[in-house]
Structure 1
Amino acid sequence: MKHISLVMLITLSTYFAFAQDTTQHIIQGRTNSKEQEAKPYVIMISIDGFRYDYAEKYQAKNLLELSGQGVKATAMQPSYPSLTFPNHYTLVTGLYPSHHGLVDNTFYDRTRKQTYEMKNRDAVEDGTWYGGTPLWVLAEQQHMVSASYFWVGSESPIQNIRPTYSYRYQEKTGIDDRIQSVVNWLKLPAAQRPHLITFYFPEVDHAGHSYGPESEQVKQQVQFVDESIGKMVKAVNALNLPVSFIVVSDHGMSAVDTVNIIRLKDMGLKMSWGGERTMFYSDDTVKVNEAYAYYKSHEEHFRAYKRNETPLRWHYGTEDKYNRIGDIILVPDAGYVFAQTKPMKQHIGHHGFDNNLTEMNAVFMAWGPAFKEHQRIGTFANIHVYPLVAEILGLKITEPVDGRPEVLQPVLKGR
Structure 2
Amino acid sequence: MECFCHCYVWIPFFILLQGICEAYTQQKLLVISLDGFSHNYLDRAKLRNVNISSFERIWKTGIRVMKVHNEFITRTGPNHLSLVTGMHEESHGIVDNVFYDPELNDTFDLSNTRHLSQLKWFDVGSEPIWVTNQRHGHKSAVTFWPGSSTPFKGQLPSFYYSQYNHQLPLVDRINQTIKWLNLDEVTLGLIYFHEPDSQGHLTGPDSVEIFNVIEKLNDDIGYLLSLIDTRPSLKSSLNIILTSDHGMSGVDANRIIILHDYINESMYYSPGSEDRVFWSLWPKDGSSSINLYKRLVGKHPKMNVFLKDNIPIRLHYSNNRRISPVVVYSEPGWTIVRSRKSVAKFSKYSILSIDMRVVLLVLVT
Same fold (TM > 0.5): yes
Q: Percent identity?
A: 25
Letter in 2 for 1:239: R
Query: How much has 1:316 moved relative to structure 2?
Result: 1.1
Counterpart CA distance in 2 for 1:153 and 1:164 is 14
Equivalent in the alignment of 2:128: 134
Query: How much has 1:251 moved relative to structure 2?
Result: 0.9
Equivalent in the alignment of 1:166: 160
Match of 1:43 among 30, 43, 54: 30
Asked whether the equivalents of residues 181 and 189 of structure 2 are also in contact (C-alpha less than 8 Å), the reply is no
Segments of 5+ residues of structure 2 without an aligned counterpart are 1-21, 47-51
Match of 1:213 among 195, 205, 214: 205
Letter in 2 for 1:46: S
Asked whether the equivalents of residues 146 and 197 of structure 1 are also in contact (C-alpha less than 8 Å), the reply is yes
Residues 186-219 of structure 1, C-alpha deviations (whole Å, 9 max, x = no match):
333x2xx421000122120112222222111111
Query: How much has 1:323 moved relative to structure 2?
Result: 0.9
Counterpart CA distance in 2 for 1:176 and 1:333 is 37
Equivalent in the alignment of 1:309: 310
Asked whether the equivalents of residues 292 and 328 of structure 1 are also in contact (C-alpha less than 8 Å), the reply is yes
Q: Secondary structure at the match of 1:95?
A: coil
* TM superposition score normalised by structure 2: 0.81
Match of 1:54 among 23, 29, 41: 41
1:223 aligns with 2:226: no
Match of 1:97 among 86, 89, 92: 89
Residues 359-414 of structure 1, C-alpha deviations (whole Å, 9 max, x = no match):
42011111131xxxxxxxxxxxxxxxxxxxxxxxxxxxxxxxxxxxxxxxxxxxxx
RMSD (Å) for aligned C-alpha atoms:
2.5
Equivalent in the alignment of 1:337: 335
Counterpart CA distance in 1 for 2:334 and 2:101 is 27
1:368 aligns with 2:355: no
Equivalent in the alignment of 1:145: 139
1:323 aligns with 2:321: yes
Query: How much has 1:49 moved relative to structure 2?
Result: 0.6
Counterpart CA distance in 2 for 1:112 and 1:175 is 36
Segments of 5+ residues of structure 1 without an aligned counterpart are 1-34, 353-358, 370-415
Once the two structures are superposed, the pairs formed by residues 172-321 of structure 1 within 5 Å of their partners are 172-188=167-183, 190=184, 193-241=185-233, 242-258=237-253, 260-264=256-260, 265-274=264-273, 275-282=276-283, 287-296=288-297, 298-299=299-300, 301-317=302-318, 320=319
* TM superposition score normalised by structure 1: 0.72
Letter in 1 for 2:203: Y
Query: How much has 1:267 moved relative to structure 2?
Result: 4.6
Counterpart CA distance in 2 for 1:58 and 1:269 is 42
Counterpart CA distance in 2 for 1:281 and 1:70 is 46
Letter in 2 for 1:164: S
Where is the strand percentage greater, Structure 1 or Structure 2?
Answer: 2
Q: Which has the higher contact order (CA 8 A, sep 6+)?
A: 1
Asked whether the equivalents of residues 84 and 105 of structure 1 are also in contact (C-alpha less than 8 Å), the reply is yes
Asked whether the equivalents of residues 211 and 349 of structure 1 are also in contact (C-alpha less than 8 Å), the reply is no
Letter in 1 for 2:336: F
* C-alpha distance 142-237 of structure 1, shift in aligned 2 (>3 A): same
Equivalent in the alignment of 1:66: 58
* C-alpha distance 132-139 of structure 1, shift in aligned 2 (>3 A): same
Query: How much has 1:151 moved relative to structure 2?
Result: 0.6
Asked whether the equivalents of residues 251 and 353 of structure 2 are also in contact (C-alpha less than 8 Å), the reply is no
Counterpart CA distance in 2 for 1:207 and 1:41 is 31
Q: Secondary structure at the match of 2:297?
A: helix
Q: Which range moved further: 331-340 or 133-142?
A: 331-340
Number of positions where the alignment pairs a residue of Structure 1 with one of Structure 2: 323
Letter in 2 for 1:121: T
Query: How much has 1:285 moved relative to structure 2?
Result: 9.7
Query: How much has 1:39 moved relative to structure 2?
Result: 2.4
Asked whether the equivalents of residues 117 and 150 of structure 2 are also in contact (C-alpha less than 8 Å), the reply is yes
Counterpart CA distance in 2 for 1:349 and 1:270 is 21
Q: Secondary structure at the match of 2:333?
A: coil
Asked whether the equivalents of residues 77 and 361 of structure 1 are also in contact (C-alpha less than 8 Å), the reply is yes
Counterpart CA distance in 2 for 1:285 and 1:90 is 36
